Amino acid sequence: MRYAIALPFLWLAVFFLLPFALVLAIALGTNAPDVAPPVELGFSLKNFALLFSDDLYVAAWLSSLRIAATSTLIALLLGYPMAYAIARARPERRPLLLMLVVLPFWTSFLIRIYAWMGLLAKNGLIDQFLRWSGIAENPGSILGTEWAVHLGIVYAYLPFMVLPLYATLEKLDTSLLEAAADLGARPLTAFLTITLPLSLPGIVAGCLLVFIPSIGEFVIPDLLGGTETLMIGKVLWDEFFTNADWPLASAVAICLLVLLVAPIALFQRQQARSLERRT
Amino acid sequence: MNGRARFAFTALAFGYAFLYLPIVLVIVYSFNESRLVTVWAGFSTKWWQALFANEAMLDAAWLSLRIALVSATAAAAIGLAAGYALARAPFFFGRTLFGSLVIAPMVMPEVVMGISMLLLFVGSEQVFGGPDRGFLTIALAHTTFSIAFVAIVVQARLADFDRSLEEAAMDLGATPWVTFRTVTLPLIAPAVGSGWLLAFTLSLDDLILTQFVAGAQSQTLPMRVYSSVRLGVDPQINVLATIIVCVAACALILSGWLTRRKV
Amino acid sequence: MHAGPIADSIVRIEGLTKRFGAITAVDGVDLEIRRGELFALLGGSGCGKTTLLRMLAGFEVPDGGRIVIDGQDMTGVPPHLRPVNMMFQSYALFPHMDVATNVGYGLRREGVRAPEIATRVAEALEQVKLADHAGRRPAQLSGGQRQRVALARALVKRPKLLLLDEPLAALDRKLREGTRFELVRLQEQLGLTFVMVTHDQEEAMSMATRLAVMNTGRVAQVGTPHEIYERPASRFVADFIGIANILEADGGWLALRPEKITLSANRPDAANTVAGKILDIAYEGDRSLYRIVTEGNGTMVVSTTNIDRTQPASFARGQRVWLGWSADAGHRVSE
């Protein structure tokens, strides 16, 4: 048992905790383009000051929050009926239906986003469809807009929404709904007063599982978004790879983490609680 | 069909169409004659031939497979230990920290993990003169990030595990280690197996973390795909996507069979 | 049914205490278990009987006191080094091994050679009448068969002490009665010491050589089934085992079993009599239980054996009757 604790502990201390200490140290340093690595250690808060004074960073921060929140909401509205339908399907069909939800997750993330590039491009299938059906006369390219980013996030993270929702809905005792109906509740009332409150843990878990990774998303805004789509993960990437400003990129990383402290803490508390229920 | 059944059917039909239409189209257009993904110009396997002649892509795939094999195995071993400790260890000092530490890489933004691990490797280069960035650093990064997934699967399996089986083994004279080897491990092996498969897939698919720690020489498959896709649509990528979807479907069926198989 | 107890102790428990947080599960228990007896720990849920058994096996570490098994202090001895074996309530059969491999598991841990393992496993399976099921997996067995595999697996190690945690609880009623006799037969035939935990008083009374009645972590009384039933030490024991009328007598308490009382229409010629009115009657087939509101002793329960098949009950509800019992029918109990 001692080794079972020590081995992961040491590994994560060296490859997870120590690196974070380094990020913090570098974020307090200064950019030094002439040396390799391009950092001069020190203790200055000017990188953080820059992040708060420059409109670009503040805007990226806010729009990351906005895009992640809207996408999470859309994923919930799309995922809840799916999870509900699977949970109410005949038991022998559920494994297959669930597997179909999970399967895309096991294929390449990059390629799933790539799949939308062809669909959303100018003269792509969606463009053609919109023109053919007369919904829009000259829709142009959806690719490169914030619409496409939302779509990509919902598409990529939908399985994360459906799975926890399914887990709570499947456990829901159907006799509760029968009892509600017996006591005079109409189906919609029964749903709102029984099913919805009891599936709240699943809703919270699903929303966090979509929201947390979307905040720091890089691939989706990079491939589907345009120049005007600002997301903090992409800003970090550009600072690091394009501008080679390591200290500033480190500061962005720390700000990104600060943004995530509350949702991650919530997620961990929920994990611990659901584990307690099981044991 | 009554109202509820119709609603359920619509929800599922719409949901699955949304999930699968893009994938199906990617597969269909891998057999397209034209280079354009928007126009169907007749059936052809020329992009398939092109991909299998694409040395750089094949090298990248080979590198990715090797890294995935190594990192998934390491992550399975460490994740097994972590999951076992989380499920079985009585209270110990730093338990909460340990639990958070194990789960943290799962919820950490990849860009943040990427930059932090790169800084670690750069730092170790400064101090110890190594390791060179490439296979080893990528494998180390992937292992770190996959441990959490294995640990969660193992821990969940152990939480459902009848503890009296372990007590019975000890009662019959088995030391804790022999108990683990002869009773616990064989019974949680399916969970460890699906954890390994998950780690393998994550490693094979990872772009961001890899991009940070790869160095100049190594190019994994996702890195190649990314640099190709950035320039626009490429039917060779469609071919690759078709292969990946088929392999993933097989792997998922296998993993489902492993976890559902009654011992 | 039993040979007289052999006054040679194999287990000595001294001041044993176990706390879980604020709850004291076992509270300063002293017990002596004799070689070759079937000893039962009887009590309701949460009385500490299972915790006591698990401390004997070594799964729980006592907070105080000690356990001595066959002269050897068990303090600090881990489960796998103790000369005891346990039959688990859930049976805890290893699902990934067949019956023979399950039964041979403990012998392999001792380093016994393969041919000897094969002989001893076959012998053990013979004893529990499962010789032709050696190759089956636990999932392919019935509940009763699984119980017997669990028994064989524990017996094959020839433990000094066999612990049985609710050995019959998972069986259905019909099977349970047959298995009771089977367990007692094996125990006598092998001359082993059994310690059994049960919440079922009928089980404990019919099987045990001696039993300990437990309540809130303490031993309320130790004795043979006859002693416990006829000479309960306290109101708790009298109440817990069977039915007892507790009467106030000479500033103390008297426990009076329902079958020790006679019921008659006229005042009987007995040392003690009281009149009353029948409140209700519970017909149980072999006997009938009458609840009677008496003049002076509150509500009392009286049982009559239904000897006459054609006559359902000798008395009617609401009827006025007389209760009578002899001078030595009751037993004085403490509070």
Rounded CA gap, B161 and B187, in Å? 9
Contact flag B22-A116 (C-beta cutoff 8 Å): yes
> Phi and psi (nearest 5°) for A107?
-85, 175
Contact flag C105-B172 (C-beta cutoff 8 Å): yes
Residue type, B127: V
Nearest CA in chain B to A231: B111
In a domain, A20, yes or no: no
Nearest to B120 among A18, A99, A241 (CB): A18
The first and second tokens of residue B201, run together, are 């897939």
The first and second tokens of residue A157, run together, are 């993270």
Whether B88 has its CB under 8 Å from any CB of chain A: the answer is: yes
| Helix (H) / strand (E) containing A240 | none
Q: Cβ contacts (< 8 Å) between C59 and chain B: which residues? A: 167, 170
Whether B244 has its CB under 8 Å from any CB of chain A: the answer is: yes
Whether A271 has its CB under 8 Å from any CB of chain B: the answer is: yes
Q: Which domain holds residue B70?
A: 54-260
Count of C-beta atoms within a 10 Å radius of residue C131: 15
Helix (H, G, I), strand (E, B) or coil at C278: strand
Q: How far is CA C137 from CA C93, C126, C172, C233, in A?
A: 9, 17, 21, 48
Number of domains within chain B: 1
Rounded CA gap, C153 and C163, in Å? 12
Beta-carbon contacts below 8 Å between A and B: 245
Contact flag B164-C89 (C-beta cutoff 8 Å): yes
In this prediction, residues A128-144 reach a mean pLDDT of: 72
In this prediction, residues A213-217 reach a mean pLDDT of: 89
Residue A191, C-beta contacts closer than 8 angstroms, at least 6 positions apart: none
Rounded CA gap, A123 and A79, in Å? 30
Is the pair B, C in contact (3+ CB pairs within 8 Å)?
Answer: yes
| HSE-CB for A9 with a 13 A CA cutoff | 17
> Phi and psi (nearest 5°) for C333?
-125, 160
Rounded CA gap, B48 and B236, in Å? 7
- Domains of chain C, with CATH numbers? 9-235 (3.40.50.300), 248-333 (2.40.50.140)
What is the pLDDT at residue A194? 86
Nearest to A223 among B16, B229, B249 (CB): B229
Nearest to C86 among B171, B175, B179 (CB): B171
Contact flag C59-B162 (C-beta cutoff 8 Å): no
Count of C-beta atoms within a 10 Å radius of residue C75: 11
Nearest CA in chain C to B161: C92
Q: Which domain holds residue A191?
A: 54-278
Q: Is the distance from CB of A109 to CB of A218 less than 8 angstroms?
A: no
Q: How far is CA A260 from CA A12, A136, B118, C202, in A?
A: 20, 39, 21, 61
Q: Cβ contacts (< 8 Å) between B161 and chain A: which residues? A: none
Rounded CA gap, A225 and A229, in Å? 6
Rounded CA gap, C70 and C297, in Å? 50
Contact flag A278-B156 (C-beta cutoff 8 Å): yes
Pairing, β C84-87 against β C161-165: parallel
The first and second tokens of residue A48, run together, are 């953080």
Whether B11 has its CB under 8 Å from any CB of chain A: the answer is: yes
Place B260 in a pLDDT band, splitting at 50, 70 and 90. Answer: low
Contact flag B171-C89 (C-beta cutoff 8 Å): no
In a domain, B212, yes or no: yes
Summarize pLDDT for A23-53 with one digit per residue, the tens.
888 888 887 777 777 777 777 888 888 888 8
In this prediction, residues A112-138 reach a mean pLDDT of: 78
In a domain, A41, yes or no: no
Number of domains within chain A: 1
Mean pLDDT by 10 residues, chain C (335 residues): 59 94 92 94 92 93 94 91 92 92 92 93 92 92 92 91 91 87 90 93 92 94 94 92 87 90 90 92 89 90 86 80 90 85
| Helix (H) / strand (E) containing B197 | helix B185-205
Q: How far is CA B67 from CA B221, C64, C249, in A?
A: 11, 54, 87
Which of A235, A229, A253 minimizes the C-alpha distance to A67? A229
Nearest CA in chain B to A274: B156
Whether B185 has its CB under 8 Å from any CB of chain C: the answer is: no
In a domain, A121, yes or no: yes
In a domain, B236, yes or no: yes
CATH of the domain at B65: 1.10.3720.10
Summarize pLDDT for B196-224 with one digit per residue, the tens.
988 998 999 899 999 999 887 888 999 99
| HSE-CB for B194 with a 13 A CA cutoff | 20
Which of A126, A131, A158 minimizes the C-alpha distance to A143? A126
In this prediction, residues A189-202 reach a mean pLDDT of: 88
CATH of the domain at A216: 1.10.3720.10
The first and second tokens of residue C165, run together, are 């945690």
In a domain, B28, yes or no: no
Is the pair A, C in contact (3+ CB pairs within 8 Å)?
Answer: no
pTM equals 0.82
Q: A178: exposed, middle or buried (C-beta count within 10 Å: 0-12, 13-18, 19+)?
A: exposed
Contact flag B120-A19 (C-beta cutoff 8 Å): yes
Ramachandran class of C122: left when φ > 0, alpha when ψ lies in -120 to 50, beta otherwise: alpha
Contact flag B168-C88 (C-beta cutoff 8 Å): yes
Residue A121, C-beta contacts closer than 8 angstroms, at least 6 positions apart: A127, A141, A143, B37, B38, B233
Q: Cβ contacts (< 8 Å) between B186 and chain C: which residues? A: 96
B255, pLDDT greater than 80 = no
Query: Which residues, listed in sequence order, are joined to residue C222 by a DSSP beta bridge?
Result: C212
Scored b (16 or more CB within 10 A) or e, C276-287 reads bebeebeeeeee
Summarize pLDDT for B72-102 with one digit per residue, the tens.
999 999 999 999 988 887 677 777 788 888 8
Nearest to A82 among B12, B92, B109 (CB): B12
In a domain, A202, yes or no: yes
ipTM of the complex: 0.85
In a domain, B37, yes or no: no
What is the pLDDT at residue C6? 46
Nearest to B102 among A8, A215, A278 (CB): A8
The first and second tokens of residue C311, run together, are 């006559």
Rounded CA gap, C308 and C261, in Å? 19
Greater pLDDT, A2 or A6: A6
What is the pLDDT at residue B128? 84
What is the pLDDT at residue B165? 94
Summarize pLDDT for B164-194 with one digit per residue, the tens.
999 999 999 999 899 999 999 999 998 898 8
Is the pair A, B in contact (3+ CB pairs within 8 Å)?
Answer: yes
Residue A99, C-beta contacts closer than 8 angstroms, at least 6 positions apart: B252, B253, B256
Provide the mean pLDDT of chain A.
Answer: 85
Which of C191, C224, C190 minimizes the C-alpha distance to C207? C224
In a domain, A39, yes or no: no
